[in-house]
Amino acid sequence: MSPALIAALPFLGALLPGLLIRSGRNVAAFSCGTMTLLALIGAVLHIPAILQGQVIVADFAWLPRIGLNASFRIDGLSLLFAILILGIGLLIITYARYYLSKDDPVGQFYTYLMLFQGAMVGIVLSDNILLLLVFWELTSLSSFLLIGYWKHLPEGRQGARMALTVTGAGGLAMIAGMLILGEIAGSYRISDILQAKEAIQASPFYLPALILILIGAFTKSAQFPFHFWLPHAMAAPTPVSAYLHSATMVKAGLFLMARLWPVLAGTPEWFYLVATTGLVTMLLGALIALFKDDLKALLAFSTVSHLGLITMLLGLGTEAGAIAAVFHIINHATFKAALFMTAGIIDHETGTRSIARLGGLRKLMPVTFLIGTIAALSMAGIPPFNGFLSKEMMLAEANDTVWAGYTQLFMVMATIGALFSVGYSFRFIWQVFFGDQRDDYPHHPHDPGPGLWFSPALLVVLVILIGLMPMTMSGWLVRVSADAVTGLETHPHIYMWHGVNAALIASIIAIAGGALLVFLHRPLQSGWDAAPRPEAKAMFDAVIRRAARWAQAVNDALHDGRLARGASMMAITVVMAGIFAWATGAVGPSTREMLPVEPVAAIGFVLLIVATGCMVTFHRNRLLALVLIGIVGLIVSCAFVYLSAPDLALTQISVEVATVMLMLLALNFLPKRTWVETGGLRRGADALIATAVGLGFGGLAYAIMRRDFAFETISGYHLENSYKLGGGDNVVNVTLVDFRGYDTFGEITVLGIAALVIFAMTETLMTGRSSRRLLNWRHDHREAGDRHPLLLVVATRLILPISLTVGLFIFLRGHNQPGGGFVAGLVVAISLLMQYMASGFAWAQEKQRVPFHAMIGLGVVVAAATGMGAWLWGVPFLTSNYTYVKLPFLEEFELATAMAFDLGVFLCVLGAVMLALNSLSRIARRAGETVNREPMDIDPSRDGHSHGEAN
């Protein structure tokens, strides 16, 4: 199975729960489980090839010019994480089916879960750092949805916001670091980057890239000082916590460090930054976990500690450290997922997670006791379970590590961390399952059905088997994963007994010390509660509040709600940047002669300046301003014709006509004059700024037109390749539908959204106070007796078929002559606008059968389908093709796929213009519904306008 398909299956699975939820919870869970199982089988099928040292690659061109391709790969490290993500994900899906209550929207939960799963699989299978960044940010967004799934809980909403803020901020830093890394290596492909170790570590940008990447990895994997968000994520449902803490999200940071280990590790900077951070996180997380009362909080901080342990091992930069890190990733995923699901069972059955209210459950819940005890003993590093093996490997590596010249400091600190780990693990077992039975549980506890205990039980079986047969059960996976991490051929040897050595002695000390901590826990807890210490959550909340106040202060100072201020600031910034560039840069001498200024061009230029100046001067008269805007547009259209740009002239004149017609209709609902907004001093300042901006851009245009370019221009490329690559002689149209088709697709989408927003905004005018004002609206002047002049009606109906024919002609000729879908849409829209204006909206509305909303949607769909059709031929999105066809009795003519894209543009433009007209007409009909009614008593002072002003 292709790695791309494996990455896509969870996303396809995310569509099913919402569609099938009416069929029942079992069907929704089964559909997600099926897609996850298929993806897992697809990954497992590659095991033989991976064991032989092969790397499975799938590469699809996406945006190759910027290095963004959909590139996927499966090597040993990818295989390890894919098996963990999909395997544990399958168990979580099963567990969640029985954990969530009937009141929880299960379809929504499974959709979020599958999106999260797909994002994680995408990260580990990506072979392009830009694609990896896309999936990386998607994990932050999908985890936000999962952590805040119980929206009614304030702690759930806050935990989701905290996780998104911390990991999102780290992701921004990581984006910068990854881009630097790609630039150093000369490629954004991970396979190429992994071969550029010498160039990367010799670069002066190595340290900045390293720090930025590690910020992203540390925030995602909850390393100190970013550790605080992970325990607050426990507000999510337990299936989410089990998945997030064991195989996903937090493991993404570890994966990134392991993936880039071959090119970033082995330097003092890597050692001190990564190993030290991991050691501190390991100690701090274990210490805090020792004193937590909430079961999930204890397990959450224990996750922080174990993540620190793995980070520390990766930071050592040694082959043995990498092997131990990979092995502990496997072990931690098995026992931690089992422990979180055990905690969920206890909460589900007893009604509480407070350790102070638990005890004596070993007899009441024997199955849960067995599962939880084995998993906790593995977490403590007690033989013969798998956690003991990787803990011994960690201690052995710590014993060989020299930190800042000290030979035993690292070993001592690692032993203390292991001691704390034993302490909270033993506390979990002793205070929850042992002691006297209680009779004050919120619910009477008993073991649940197999639906809840099957998944953690299966993981506990793996804990035992890996501990007893490590090389058989996981040695092969550790080997291929360590090979991928180190880039070398490794030979891991994992055994239960290595003789009496420093690691074994440290383990004995940790076990004895941990047991002593449990025995002395009550007085230690009192001291911990009384001791002053910083609270990360309070510090985070204070920083957020302070940042919000600063942002609000800056926003209030810069944005007072007036467009003039924002426009002035932007204009001043542009002018100052231009002055700085001009003063510090070098402008060469002119290389082009001035063209002669012909009288017609001079007259047009003067008329343009006069019309613009009059519009600024007389803008308070809305109708006159609109007339002047039309004059400016007409002169600009003539200028395009004069400068041999007929496509632009057609577009400009069409836009002007359609815009003026719509604005004329809109003026019917506006005051005839605009009030004076600012004083004379402010208007003078605005005029000065506008003049400076105008002169600046004019000078820039003059300087560019008087000089030749020392490099190939984009326009030159388009002129040369318009026919060869796009099959059209009209360079403008080919550029819009081929070379820059993606831009055009985005623009028509935005245009359609804008039309829909206008339509939605008119709803607010049809209700509330706005509606009352419309009902009382009266013209302040006499209306013509003939609302639909016969001459205009007859003329527009005669013109309509001619206009439609012209529109069709302009559409069909667009690929080789001036025209195209955009202009054709405007021409047809203008002809329809004239029908509506002449005969009225009601008459015209009866004649048309296609809803404008659907027309916009169909246009976007047609354009998108045309673009995706290119994928069938293995070429990038929106790549066009053409051929020549000869039919009987006709000359040979061209057929291009760009015509279908242009059809989408045509439909979207036509629908957007007509939907805007529809919005205005709805308001007019609403205002005219009560022409013969008595006006309602509305206080003009409260409403803001008198009746005379409503027009």
Q: What is the pLDDT of residues 810-832, one digit of tens each?
A: 888 877 788 888 889 889 888 88
- pLDDT interval class at 501 (50, 70, 90): confident
With residue 608 as reference, give the H or E element that holds it.
helix 599-617
- Each residue of 844-898: pLDDT tens digit? 667 767 788 888 888 889 988 888 888 877 777 777 777 777 778 777 777 778 8
The amino acid that residue 20 corresponds to is: L
For the segment 373-420, what is each residue's pLDDT rounded down to a tens digit?
A: 999 999 999 999 999 999 999 999 998 888 887 888 889 999 999 999
> Is 545 within the bounds of a domain?
no
What whole-number distance in Å separates Cα of residue 796 and Cα of residue 802?
A: 10
Query: Does residue 920 register a pLDDT over 80?
Result: no
Q: Which has the closest alpha carbon to 387: 367, 404, 400, 373?
A: 373
Q: Which residue has the tokens 């006791």?
A: 369
Average pLDDT over residues 911-922: 80
Asked whether the beta carbons of 183 and 273 are under 8 A apart, the reply is no
Q: What is the mean pLDDT of residues 241-250?
A: 86
Question: Count of domains in the chain?
Answer: 1
Return the amino acid letter for 574.
Answer: V
Q: What burial class does residue 872 get, using C-beta atoms within 10 Å of its C-beta: 0-12 exposed, 13-18 middle, 19+ buried? A: exposed
The rounded percent of the chain whose pLDDT value lies above 90 is: 34
Say if CB 858 and CB 907 are below 8 A apart: yes
| Cα gap 135→428, rounded to integer Å | 36
Q: Given the DSSP bridges, would you call strands 68-74 and 882-885 parallel, antiparallel or unpaired?
A: unpaired
Q: Which domain holds residue 881?
A: 730-951
CA distances 723 to 701, 709, 719, Å, are 29, 24, 8
Residue 921: per-residue pLDDT:
74
Local confidence band at 950 (pLDDT 50, 70, 90 cut-offs): very low
792 falls within a domain: yes
Higher pLDDT, residue 708 or 95: 95
Asked if the structure places residue 769 within a domain, the reply is: yes
pLDDT of residue 103: 81
Structure tokens at 25: 């919870």
What percent of the chain stands above pLDDT 70? 92
Instruction: Give which of 203, 174, 60 is closest to 126, Cα–Cα.
Output: 60
Please, which pLDDT band fits residue 948 given cuts at 50, 70 and 90? Answer: very low
CA distance 858 to 836: 23
Which pLDDT value is given to residue 710?
A: 66
Mean pLDDT of 546-557: 86
pLDDT reported for residue 420: 94
User: Does the residue 846 lie in any domain?
Assistant: yes
Q: Is the peptide bond before 268 cis (omega within 30 degrees of 0)?
A: no
State the pLDDT at residue 931: 43
pLDDT of residue 767: 67
d(CA 374, CA 335): 8
- Model confidence over 606-654: pLDDT tens digits? 998 899 888 888 878 888 888 888 889 899 999 888 888 888 888 888 8
Average pLDDT, the chain: 85
Burial grade of 934 (CB within 10 A; 0-12, 13-18, 19 or more):
exposed
Helix, strand or coil for residue 493? coil
| pLDDT confidence of residue 677 | 65
Backbone phi, then psi, for 406, in 5-degree steps? Answer: -95, 130
Instruction: Answer with the residue of higher pLDDT: 902 or 566.
Output: 902
Show Cβ contacts of residue 222 under 8 Å, excluding neighbours closer than 6 positions: 229, 230, 250, 253, 281, 303, 304, 307
What backbone torsions phi and psi does residue 660 show, to the nearest 5 degrees?
-65, -40
> What pLDDT shows up at residue 322?
92
pLDDT at 154 over 90: no
Here the tokens at position 690 are 């506008």
Asked whether 151 and 157 are in contact (CB, 8 A), the reply is yes
Is the pLDDT at 428 greater than 60, yes or no? yes
User: In which band, very low, low, confident or very high, does the pLDDT at 927 lie, cut at 50, 70 and 90?
Assistant: low
Is the CB of residue 460 less than 8 Å from the CB of residue 338?
A: yes
Least Cα distance to 111 among 76, 156, 146, 147 occurs for 146
**Comparing 715 with 177, which gets the higher pLDDT?**
177
- pLDDT (mean) for 213-238: 89
Cα separation, 481 vs 99, whole angstroms: 34
For residue range 429-453, list pLDDT tens digits in order: 998 988 777 777 777 888 888 988 9
**Cα gap 421→427, rounded to integer Å:** 10
pLDDT tens-digit series, residues 21-61: 777 788 889 999 999 999 999 999 999 999 998 999 888 87
d(CA 169, CA 635): 49
Residue 845 is assigned to a structural domain of this protein? yes
Examine residue 489 and state whether it is found in any structural domain, yes or no.
no
Size of the chain in residues: 951
The model's pLDDT over 744-795, given as tens digits with 9 standing for 90+, comes to 888 888 888 888 888 877 777 666 666 666 666 565 555 555 567 777 788 8
Residue 297 has pLDDT above 60, yes or no: yes
Nearest 10 degrees: CA dihedral of 854, 858, 861, 867? -160
d(Cα 908, Cα 708) in Å, to the nearest integer? 39
Question: What is the average pLDDT across 671-677?
Answer: 70
Q: Rounded to an integer, what distance in angstroms lies between the CA atom of residue 186 and that of residue 730?
A: 37
Task: Label residue 281 by pLDDT band (50, 70, 90).
Answer: very high
pLDDT range class, residue 944, cuts 50, 70, 90: very low
Report H helices in 101-153. Answer: 106-125, 129-147
